[in-house]
Chain A
């Protein structure tokens, strides 16, 4: 049911892990629905120089996370924001219809990590956020997931 590319990215996922001192971290999905994606970005001069992920989910969720990190590394923040769920799915030679929501999750994870980056940079005003605060928020989010 999965393309060879999906199976390849599932069995040999690229860029799994965490980035210490990441410039942006985003987590989307929830454990109740069976998938969570967490994306870490390292950004220099507005260019994504590294991306890593952790995912709880099915084969398609892991493969789309892996592909999404490959697609955004080397792109500017604005270019990365242009990447759609369809682009992620197409890059994997398609997903079964029932699994298309996994590619939405990848798009959302990219957006969420970039939003976090912008918030930290003060590019979007949020409740006077500081790095320490948003990190703590991340931790809170974790425990939500495993309630």
Chain B
């Protein structure tokens, strides 16, 4: 219908940068060697792997030997949580997390409950925040792991990770953070923040899909994820995805290299969008913390309308975005994150997440702000809920 394509869903995934793709390509063809082989092209692959590892380590303030490559952010989360749980079972069976984690964490925790572990799901406040005091109060002698996401994928709220890390370190409990949405977007230093384990995923910062990493601080007791060959120092067997890992390394280097400039631009876009939506559209609610949020994240609920309808109409106008409505989550309930911040179901159904990225421009926002108010109005005019409000107001 329309030629225009404005991608506003960078929290879902990002395009692979040209420089990243170029760095990867030789490792599919001429430099195809197995990193475990001793001849030249094998050693070249090994060297490329280790360079990527150095880049990941540098990006988060870790040592290279503390970085383990995985096949995704989900895998890193599963490894961290199950690996620490199984390895520290004799010490205790209690895990602390939050109600707003990604399913990669929540479902891994629920699985462990079926295995006899006990999990505390800390509630969050209306902005999506959990406090270090809440965490401290939940720690018991049996607590072996705290797993709390760095930044939320839906509402963008950034948790007080350094404070939580301090509590965890003082109490001697391992602290894992799912930093999939944070890495490449906000500064992270695992040693300053007392983080013991950290998950990241390449496709969220302009790298390829299907590759991630888990940072495991030296000395942390954790089981191996895959048993097999000696790859990843025996902790995660299987022939390495060299091209993917090279892509991850290149992408994280670029992403963390120009964080400040990039964020200045993203925050300006975010703020402009938030202000204009609040000014131009009545009956809206900003979800997530007003300022303590990811630079590119905007999340609004539009009362009286439903998210999937909104997405379909935006798509017809060439705008790609996402929603926490039931119809888009594949279940009958709206997103657990929106419910956890206290939204009533009907308001949660009408949510829209816009996540900006480097290639977005002010013109994109001009266009968005031309189209969005019209679409919202159109859907409201069709809505029996709005009819009641319109009548009550007159």
Give the B-binding residues of A (Cβ under 8 A): 7, 10-11, 13, 16, 18, 27, 31-38, 54-62, 98-99, 139, 142-143, 145-147
Contacts and interface: CB of A to CB of B under 8 A. Distances in A.
Nearest to A2: B312
A139 B381 CA distance: 17
Contacts of B330: 98
A34 B388 contact: no
B321 to A, nearest CB: 15
A98 B331 CA distance: 9
A35 B349 CA distance: 9
A71 B95 CA distance: 56
B327 interface: yes
Contact of B309 (A18, A54, A58): A58
B304 interface: yes
Interface of B: 303-306, 308-309, 312-313, 316, 325-327, 330, 332, 334, 344-346, 349, 381-389
Given A33-B326, A54-B384, A56-B305, 18 more contacts: A31-B385, A32-B344, A34-B325, A34-B334, A55-B382, A56-B383, A57-B309, A58-B308, A58-B327, A59-B308, A99-B327, A142-B384, A145-B384, A145-B385, A145-B388, A146-B304, A146-B385, A146-B388
B388 A142 contact: yes
A27 B387 CA distance: 13
A8 B306 CA distance: 18
A36 to B, nearest CB: 5
Contact of B382 (A7, A13, A31): A13
A40 to B, nearest CB: 10
Contact of B304 (A10, A16, A38, A56): A56
A27 B384 CA distance: 9
Nearest to A56: B383
Contacts of A33: 326, 332, 345
Nearest to B349: A34
Contacts of B308: 58-59
> For A37, A57, A143, which residue has the most chain B Cβ atoms within 10 angstroms?
A57
Contacts of A32: 344-346
Contacts of A11: 313, 316
Given A57-B309, A58-B308, A31 B327 contact: no
B306 A34 contact: yes
A58 B306 contact: yes
Contact of B306 (A35, A145, A146): A35
Given A32-B346, A35-B306, A56-B304, A18 B387 contact: yes
A11 B2 CA distance: 14
Contact of A57 (B306, B316, B344, B389): B306
Contacts of B346: 31-32, 34, 145-146
Nearest to B388: A142
A128 B304 CA distance: 34
A31 B308 CA distance: 14
A86 B334 CA distance: 26
Nearest to A139: B388
Given A31-B346, A31-B349, A34-B345, A62 B387 contact: no
A14 B327 CA distance: 22
A62 B382 contact: yes
A59 B345 contact: no
Contacts of A147: 344
B345 A31 contact: yes
Interface centre among B344, B386, B387, B388 (most CB of A within 10 A): B388
Given A10-B309, A57-B309, A62-B382, A34 B387 contact: no
A59 B379 CA distance: 11
A59 B323 CA distance: 14
Nearest to A55: B382
Contact of A10 (B312, B345, B384): B312
Nearest to A33: B332
Contacts of A145: 346, 384-385, 388
B308 to A, nearest CB: 4
B332 A55 contact: no
Nearest to A37: B384
A143 B334 CA distance: 21
